[in-house]
Amino acid sequence: MNNKLFSNIKAITACSIAFGLAGFSMAAPIKTIPWNGHVGAVSFTFDDALENQVQNLKPVLDELPDVHVTFFLTDMGNGLKQNAAGFAALAKAGHEIGNHAKNHGHLSGITNNEELNEEIVKFADNIEKVLAENGATTNVISFATPFCENNDQVKGVIDTRHFINRDCGWHGRNEWDVEPDWLALKAKIWTRSGASVPEMLTAMDTAAFIGNFAGAEPWEVQIKGGTWLVVLNHGVTDDKGDDYAIDPADIKKIFERAIEDKLWVAPFGTIGAYYRAHFIVDAATSTATDDGFTVSWKIPNEHMPKSVMLRVNIDTKSIGENVVVEQNGQKITPESDGSYIIEFMSKSLTVRKAGAGDSTTHPQDTTATPPTDSTKDTSTALPKIQLGSEQNSTVYTKFTLFDLNGNRLGTVSDFAVPANYPKGTYIIRAEAKGQAAITKKVSR
Ligand SMILES: [Zn+2]
């Protein structure tokens, strides 16, 4: 045994002795569940603010409540100005609005920072302003470079106003444990001449790790599990003369395959934020407290979404069987599989031993199990919560609406989905001070 190894072992032993004492830093106890519990993920992005996206894609999207996509807007050809109402309607239906630069210029050819600022930063503000004038509140946090022309100076300016940028090319897949360049994500590009519908369908399967990839040659891309695929589209029209455009029926087929493959189909900024957050949370170490531990972390970019819900497992073995997980003083009820849904943007969480005043200390099905269910152990339960009764409105102070992909859509006033949301199934999380939050599936 060499000395270095020996001193490492000593260090580990010293750590184990310290384990459990308040104030000491310990292992990283949080592990994010990949791709929000899906085997893989896909983000469809549509560039250039084209009228045919509003005309031909919106009807397809309206039929598929589980599909949310990203539109990268530019004012090239007056795209933003002319189609603002259409994109505002898409934003209101839960789709992401991103930034594709004001004039769709060759950004890497611009060396004047003021000019880059006009194209990138000020245009992000302008998109939000124009869509607000059309009734949609948006938070532009994703960028896509025109012509995928990028360099360090361009990245530097993008980074001051966005937390992520999409370039293009390559197979467009990202592995869970390999941190990408957040300002140069690759994307698989659709063109009529360059791709085909069967190829795109196979790309969905590959992202979902469906197929036999064991026979790949060493020099080929190795597929080791589910990945996040980013797709770049432009127009949506039957016009076969438009090489960049895809037929509405074909994009629908590809969306449907993604759902069938059980991929997490969500906007670029949504999946990108989940993906980026996991590298931070999973590396965050815990600090012991008198009755448990806390884990704190930093937000990597101030332009992350306002809410980034992560589905995580937390190693609480050192604390004992009955634990309480809290964020901002609010208990988090475990999901039926024992995982927790935490808010990354809260920057910390606490795990402590459950005390006499705590009730829910074991995983339970939080999706609308009536409290009268005789199979459920209610002996130690909280004051009974009458789901759906009027009592809720007095007990719960905050209701948050999510789609089934975990995207936070906004706050609502009760366990009902407002009529301006598309028909489909949603999740509503209700919170009350001093009580565990509960979630409920709600359809409209
Ligand atoms: Zn473009």
Residue with the bigger pLDDT between 199 and 408: it is: 199
144 and 100 in contact (C-beta within 8 Å)? yes
State in Å: Cα 177 to ligand 1 middle.
30
Whole-number pLDDT of residue 170? 85
**Residues 284, 212 within the same domain:** no
Strand partners, 417: none
Q: Is residue 13 part of a domain?
A: no
State in Å: Cα 71 to ligand 1 middle.
11
**Residues 209, 318 within the same domain:** no
Q: Is residue 5 part of a domain?
A: no
Strand partners, 233: 46
In this prediction, what percent of the chain has a pLDDT beyond 70? 84
Instruction: Quickly state the pLDDT bin for 439 (edges 50, 70, 90).
Output: confident
* pLDDT tens, position by position, 213-254: 888 888 888 888 999 999 999 999 999 999 999 999 999 999
State in Å: Cα 410 to ligand 1 middle.
30
Which of these three, 216, 240, 262, is where a domain ends?
A: 262
pLDDT score of 175 more than 60: yes
* pLDDT tens, position by position, 245-267: 999 999 999 999 999 999 999 99
State in Å: Cα 313 to ligand 1 middle.
40
**Residues 24, 124 within the same domain:** no
* pLDDT tens, position by position, 127-152: 999 999 999 999 999 999 999 999 99
* pLDDT tens, position by position, 419-428: 777 777 788 8
Whole-number pLDDT of residue 436? 65
Q: Tell me how far apart the alpha carbons of residues 176 and 360 are, in angstroms, rounded to a whole number.
A: 32
Whole-number pLDDT of residue 213? 86
State in Å: Cα 142 to ligand 1 middle.
14
Whole-number pLDDT of residue 393? 37
**Residues 302, 251 within the same domain:** no
Q: Is residue 269 part of a domain?
A: no
pLDDT score of 159 more than 50: yes
State in Å: Cα 261 to ligand 1 middle.
29
Whole-number pLDDT of residue 8? 44
pLDDT score of 371 more than 70: no
**Least confident window among 43-47, 136-140, 289-293, 399-403:** 399-403
Mean pLDDT value across the chain: 86
**Residues 240, 208 within the same domain:** yes
**Residues 242, 327 within the same domain:** no
State in Å: Cα 65 to ligand 1 middle.
26
Handedness of CA 355, 356, 358, 360 (dihedral sign): positive
State in Å: Cα 147 to ligand 1 middle.
6
Q: Is residue 161 part of a domain?
A: yes
Q: Tell me how far apart the alpha carbons of residues 318 and 63 are, in angstroms, rounded to a whole number.
A: 48
Q: Is residue 41 part of a domain?
A: no
Residue with the bigger pLDDT between 405 and 208: it is: 208
- What is the secondary structure of 2-53 as a DSSP string? -HHHHHHHHHHHHHHHHTTSTT-B----EEEPGGGGSS-EEEEEEES--HHI
**Residues 282, 258 within the same domain:** no
State in Å: Cα 221 to ligand 1 middle.
27
**Residues 348, 250 within the same domain:** no
Instruction: Quickly state the pLDDT bin for 57 (edges 50, 70, 90).
Output: very high
Q: Is residue 10 part of a domain?
A: no
> Total structural domains in the chain?
2
Which of these three, 262, 290, 320, is where a domain ends?
A: 262
Residue with the bigger pLDDT between 18 and 286: it is: 286
Whole-number pLDDT of residue 169? 85
**Residues 110, 249 within the same domain:** yes
State in Å: Cα 318 to ligand 1 middle.
52
Pair type for strands 188-189 and 227-233: parallel
Question: Domain of 179: which CATH number?
Answer: 3.20.20.370
Give the closest residue to 207 by CA, choosing from 186, 228, 230, 182. 228
Q: Tell me how far apart the alpha carbons of residues 80 and 358 are, in angstroms, rounded to a whole number.
A: 53
**Residues 230, 316 within the same domain:** no
Whole-number pLDDT of residue 380? 33
* pLDDT tens, position by position, 71-93: 999 999 899 999 999 999 999 99
* pLDDT tens, position by position, 90-104: 999 999 999 999 999
pLDDT score of 382 more than 60: no
* pLDDT tens, position by position, 307-352: 999 999 999 988 988 999 999 999 999 999 999 999 999 999 999 9
Q: Tell me how far apart the alpha carbons of residues 283 and 28 are, in angstroms, rounded to a whole number.
A: 6
State in Å: Cα 190 to ligand 1 middle.
13
Whole-number pLDDT of residue 216? 80
State in Å: Cα 123 to ligand 1 middle.
15
Which of these three, 210, 232, 262, is where a domain ends?
A: 262
Q: Is residue 76 part of a domain?
A: yes
**Residues 371, 226 within the same domain:** no
**Residues 284, 350 within the same domain:** yes
State in Å: Cα 146 to ligand 1 middle.
5
State in Å: Cα 77 to ligand 1 middle.
11
Give the closest residue to 274 by CA, choosing from 87, 38, 26. 38
68 and 267 in contact (C-beta within 8 Å)? yes
State in Å: Cα 143 to ligand 1 middle.
11
Q: Is residue 281 part of a domain?
A: yes
The residue segments making up the domain with residue 394 are: 20-33+276-443
232 and 45 in contact (C-beta within 8 Å)? yes
pLDDT score of 280 more than 50: yes
pLDDT score of 194 more than 70: yes
